[in-house]
Structure 1
Amino acid sequence: MIFFVKRLTAMVRAYAHHRNPRVAAANVISLLVASNQPFYPLYLFWLVSADITAAWFTFLSTPFFLSVPAVARRNDVAGRALLPLAGICNTVLSAWLFGTASAVEIFLVPCGVIALLLFRPRERVVALALAALAFGVFLLLHDAYGLPLARYDAAQYAALARLNLVSACVLTAFVTILFSGILAEAEQSADAARREKAG
């Protein structure tokens, strides 16, 4: 069992690895999101309601998150762009499934943050377009979803909103910590290069 876990961990690390730290970050985030999706129905069952039918439809986005590293190997811009696009589409689907009272649209915030962080300054047009899409989706669709597939009472919706708010905050925090580490490594490399040049 321990050997299997180690082998699986090594395979996941190899799949997520990329020499470009921004692409590697996108790969890690995408696999983290995909690995957490199976737990969402359980969270709903424990914290909100025994009716978790709508949650199964969120698995439609799982293949897109899982394919980010594979796409990035062929085209790193497309791979990075796929991550926030999959997140935005999953958020739209979830808003339709659960209704805006679930506060699931809060996930558009980490989608926008991820889009802005994943691209270099010369790729800023892509980053801004994806962030604008996340913002535009909220503005244009917030009042257009109609009746949700899942119907909960006020207390259940409050619990679901708390779940989504906490989840979105944790994801945003993870992303910022990840990029803080990338920035620190870049600074250390720059300092080492300056010391080598001075010496």
Structure 2
Amino acid sequence: MTEIATDPALSRTARLWRGSVGGVRRLAASADPLVEAGNWVALTIGSHLPFWPLYVWWSAGREAWPSALLTTTLAPVFLLIPWLSRYSGLAARVATPVVGVANTVFTIWVLGPSSGTALFFAPCTALAALLFRRRERWLMLALTTLPLIAWYVLLYFPPTPVHHYGALAAERLVELNTISIVVLISFFGWLQTASYQRMERR
């Protein structure tokens, strides 16, 4: 029987992939299931934002450039949240929805109110409800109310967008944002189930 040789380049790629995945898991890991859930959300959003201008370009076409590049601005802030959780799990859990609201407000300014970006206030509210325990309900109440306050303020004082998109481009951006929100909330549900299972085992 002829022995099949292993491709050294493929082996190195596999080791690099396993090492990268292991590093991300260690970065997100926490003894507190809710802190770990928040870390996964922050890492997911932070690593996803650098690709967001490509999605905007795919939806809105050439007119998305270069203003769409600004949508990556808060990616480093999300990626720092797991580091913050090493010092204070509560601070990290508070920071995740707060940075989410800040990112939504900032992106509304970049893409304009007609882009449907304000819909992201809904997952910000869901996230605030996910990351806190019953004894922290007053903090939960404040953070679940924050997106509503931001939405209400922007409703009456809308920012002048960096770029004005045409009607067709704006419609496509609304579709993109709606799909993204559905995926994001589904991800929250998966994290919530995993967190509750860990807490029940404890």
Residue number among 103, 114, 139 corresponding to 1:126 in the alignment? 139
State the Cα distance separating 1:143 from its structure 2 match: 3.2
Equivalent position of 2:20 in the other structure: 8
Which of 29, 45, 57 aligns to 1:17? It is: 29
Deviations 1:56-79 (A, max 9, x none): 222221121101111111111100
- Aligned 8 A contact 1:22 1:119 in 2: yes
Q: Which amino acid aligns with 1:76?
A: G
RMSD: 1.4
* Post-superposition offset of 1:14: 0.6
SS for the counterpart of 1:138 is: helix
Distance 1:97-1:143 versus aligned 2 partners, 3 A rule: farther
**Match for 1:119: what amino acid?**
F
Give the corresponding residue for 2:106: 93
Shifted more, 34-43 versus 24-33: the winner is 34-43
Aligned to 2:174: 161
Structure 2 residue 94 is matched with structure 1 residue 44: no
Cα shift at 1:185: 4.1
Match of 1:63 in 2: 76
Which residue pairs with 2:196 in the alignment? 183
Task: Write the distance in 1 (CA, Å) between the matches of 2:169 and 2:45.
Answer: 24
CA distance in structure 1 between the aligned counterparts of 2:199 and 2:150, rounded to whole angstroms: 34
Q: Distance in 2 between the 1:48 and 1:143 partners?
A: 26
Q: Give runs of ≥4 in structure 1 deviating > 4 Å.
A: none
AA matched with 1:16: A
Bigger drift between 36-45 and 14-23 goes to 36-45
The CA deviation at 1:142 is 2.2
- Aligned residue pairs total 189
1:62-103 deviations in Å (ceiling 9; x for gaps): 121101111111111100111101110000001111111101
Cα deviation, 1:147-168, whole Å, max 9, x if unaligned, reads 3112211111000000011101
Other-structure match for 2:5: none
Mapped pair 1:53 → 2:39: no
User: How high is the sequence identity, in percent, across the aligned residues?
Assistant: 32
Structure 1: gaps of 5 or more residues: 191-199
Are 2:50 and 2:75, in contact at CA under 8 Å, matched by a contact in 1? no
In structure 2, what is the Cα distance between the partners aligned to 1:77 and 1:186?
A: 17
Residue in 1 that maps onto 2:40? 28
Bigger relative CO (Cα 8 Å, ≥ 6 apart): 2
Offset, 1:2: 1.9
Larger deviation: 60-69 or 155-164?
Answer: 60-69
Secondary structure of the residue aligned to 1:156 is helix
Secondary structure, counterpart of 1:18 in structure 2? coil
Q: Which residue of 2 aligns with 1:149?
A: 162
After TM superposition, the score normalised by the length of structure 1 is 0.90
